[in-house]
């Protein structure tokens, strides 16, 4: 007999397992149906207290016309409220169990058509369950009430477990969301750190370049001065030499012949011309070195100049082009198509860094020989600078990733993947953006848009 009872209660284990993976409302309905079947009831209501001990809410119902799942339990369902309030089982009579199985009067002695139990979990009441038979059917006894108490105790365990499982899933979901958020924050911190390191590296290079430029500037200065003085001295020597040549006719024949042979063997006419040419070339070379040094200083912009200021972008482009010319001159022709640009309020050295990255990338994209075109223009209160190359281009599927830190299409060892990422951050800090157009096999164009004066940036005092 006991074995048959235990076998008949296998549904409790099945519902327990169902509660581990099923939807809560569905599990509550199955629980109520099973309890009603087990106790041969016609109608019933399962109600649960809100989290934190609030009001009773209908979780499931059978044949009750006055309640719906999710709604609060009305005061007319007095048996449910009594079971929760008194925390004890109730045997009662009802006038019409079909309409409201949870209304009726408590039976002091004898049987009744309704039974109601509080749902307890340890010393805490979590809800109530009520079932009812229609008038005319056999009444429930005290033994039925006790048997139902055992079933309802098991139901309470299943419901509490279901709640814990749902709470656990909610916590896991929140933890997963927090973990994803932390990963995103860590990624942003890593990007910011890498960009900061790159910026510090560029700042150090800028300071070094400025120091080197300053040190080179002094010897270039006196070499240039000495070349000017030497040229003046030579012209004075040539003046005296010309006078001597005029006096040759007054000399005796033997001495004149000796002078003619010396002039012929030394090729004096060639020397007079070539020494001036050499001085001219030397002066041109010194001037080029001076221009490179000046461009190096303009590019680095260290010290007091590393401030927001009004700057000529064409000047920055030209000085940057001069700095990276060694990367470009062997395999590319540089074409300038400059438009009219107003002066822009910016950090010149940082924009020069952007131009440098774009120019070097353009050079690296050209395998043998190609063209790099620099264009500038303005639209309203914005200006733009474009660097276009005829290199191998960027595949469409990679365009969305080119500004990601450490992403590079260059061979291993030929790029850090930080140049475009840092450039993007610099342009973004200036309130601008970078547009990219690329076609594999035909080249790439990067267009940098900048406001003439970024919003929110206070103009520095002179």
- What pLDDT was estimated at residue 244? 78
Average pLDDT for residues 110-126, to the nearest whole number? 85
Instruction: Look at residue 267 and tell me if it is in a domain.
Output: no
Residue 12 has a pLDDT of 58
Task: Answer yes or no: is 198 within a domain.
Answer: no
* 305 band by pLDDT with thresholds 50, 70 and 90: very low
What is the total residue count of the chain?
A: 462
**Same domain as 161, residue 307:** no
pLDDT tens figures, 51-93: 766 788 888 888 887 778 888 888 778 888 888 888 888 888 8
Is residue 414 a contact partner of residue 354, using CB atoms and an 8 Å limit?
Answer: no
Judgement on whether residues 456 and 313 belong to the same structural domain of the protein: yes
Around 120, how many Cα atoms within 13 Å sit in the side-chain half-sphere? 15
Closest residue by Cα to residue 426 from 316, 281, 264, 291: 316
For residue 230, which of 276, 170, 298, 165 has the smallest C-alpha distance?
A: 276
Higher pLDDT, 365 or 52: 365
* Residues 168 and 317 placed together within one structural domain of the fold: no
pLDDT at 196: 65
| Distance in angstroms (rounded) separating the CA atoms of residues 83 and 64 | 18
pLDDT(439) > 60: yes
Confidence of residue 228 (pLDDT cuts 50, 70, 90): confident
The CATH number assigned to the domain holding 163 equals: 3.30.450.40
Tens of pLDDT, residue by residue over 187-215, are 777 766 666 666 655 655 655 566 566 56
More confident residue, 51 or 347: 347
Residue 122, domain member (yes or no): yes
- Among 150, 172, 194, which residue terminates a domain? 172
Could you report the per-residue pLDDT of 20-50, keeping only the tens digit for each?
Answer: 555 677 788 888 888 888 888 888 999 888 8
Q: Is residue 196 part of a domain?
A: no
Is 262 inside a domain boundary?
no
Does some domain include residue 285?
A: no
Last residue of a domain, one of 139, 172, 205: 172
Q: Please, what's the b/e burial string for 144-177 (b: 16 or more CB within 10 A of its CB; e: otherwise)?
A: bbebbeebbebbbbbbbebbeeeeeeeeeeeeee
pLDDT tens column, 159-188 = 887 778 777 878 888 888 888 888 888 877
* Best-predicted range by mean pLDDT (123-132, 189-198, 395-404): 123-132
Phi/psi for 22 (5° steps) reads -85, 180
Residue 281 lies in a domain: no
| Per-residue CA distances from 2 to 5, 145, 329 (Å) | 5, 19, 97
Six-digit token pair at 3?
A: 């074995």
Query: Range of 27's domain?
Result: 2-172
pLDDT reading at 336 higher than 90: yes
Residue of 349 and 300 predicted with greater confidence? 349
423 lies in a domain? yes
| Domain-ending residue, one of 141, 172, 203 | 172
Which CATH number covers residue 377?
3.30.565.10
pTM score, two decimals? 0.45
pLDDT at 229: 80
Domain count, the chain: 2
Please compute, for residue 431, the number of CA atoms within 13 A of its CA located in the half-sphere on the CB side. 15
pLDDT exceeds 70 at position 347: yes
């Amino acid at each position: 007999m006991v074995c048959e009872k235990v076998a008949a209660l296998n549904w409790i284990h099945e519902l327990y397992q169902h509660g581990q993976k099923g939807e809560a409302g569905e599990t509550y309905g199955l629980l109520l149906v099973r309890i009603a079947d087990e106790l041969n009831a016609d109608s019933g209501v399962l109600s649960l207290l809100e989290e934190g001990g609030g009001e009773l809410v209908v979780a499931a119902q059978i044949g009750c016309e006055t309640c719906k799942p999710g709604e609060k339990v009305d005061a007319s369902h007095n048996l449910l409220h009594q079971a929760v309030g008194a925390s004890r089982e109730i045997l009662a009579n009802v006038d019409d169990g079909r309409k409201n199985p949870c209304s009726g009067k408590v039976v002091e002695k004898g049987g009744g058509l309704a039974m109601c139990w509080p749902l307890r979990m340890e010393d805490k009441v979590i809800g109530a369950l009520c079932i009812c038979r229609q008038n005319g059917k056999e009444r429930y006894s005290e033994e039925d009430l006790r048997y139902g108490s055992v079933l309802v105790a098991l139901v309470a365990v299943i419901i509490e477990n279901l709640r814990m499982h749902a709470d656990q899933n909610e916590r896991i979901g929140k933890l997963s969301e927090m973990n994803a958020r932390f990963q995103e924050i860590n990624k942003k911190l890593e990007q910011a750190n890498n960009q900061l390191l790159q910026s510090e590296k560029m700042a150090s290079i800028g300071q070094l370049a400025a120091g080197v430029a300053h040190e080179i500037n002094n010897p270039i200065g006196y070499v240039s001065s000495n070349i000017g003085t030497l040229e003046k001295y030579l012209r004075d020597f040539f003046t005296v030499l010309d006078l001597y040549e005029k006096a040759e006719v007054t000399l005796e024949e033997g001495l004149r012949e000796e002078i003619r042979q010396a002039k012929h063997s030394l090729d004096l006419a060639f020397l007079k011309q070539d020494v001036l040419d050499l001085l001219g070339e030397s002066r041109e070379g010194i001037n080029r070195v001076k221009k490179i040094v000046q461009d190096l200083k303009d590019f680095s912009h260290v010290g007091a100049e590393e401030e927001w200021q009004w700057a000529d972008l064409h000047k920055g482009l030209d000085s940057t082009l001069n700095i990276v010319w060694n990367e470009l001159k062997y395999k590319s022709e540089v074409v300038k198509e400059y438009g009219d640009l107003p002066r822009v309020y910016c950090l010149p050295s940082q924009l020069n860094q952007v131009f440098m990255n774009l120019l070097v990338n353009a050079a690296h994209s050209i395998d043998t020989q190609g063209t790099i075109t620099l264009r500038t223009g303005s639209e309203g209160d914005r200006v733009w600078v474009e660097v276009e190359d005829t290199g191998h281009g960027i595949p469409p599927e990679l365009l969305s990733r080119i500004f990601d830190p450490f992403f590079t299409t260059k061979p291993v060892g030929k790029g850090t993947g930080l140049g475009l990422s840092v450039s993007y951050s610099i342009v973004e800090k200036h309130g601008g953006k970078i547009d990219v157009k690329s076609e594999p096999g035909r080249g790439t164009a990067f267009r940098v848009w900048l406001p003439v004066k970024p919003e929110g940036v206070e103009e520095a005092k002179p």
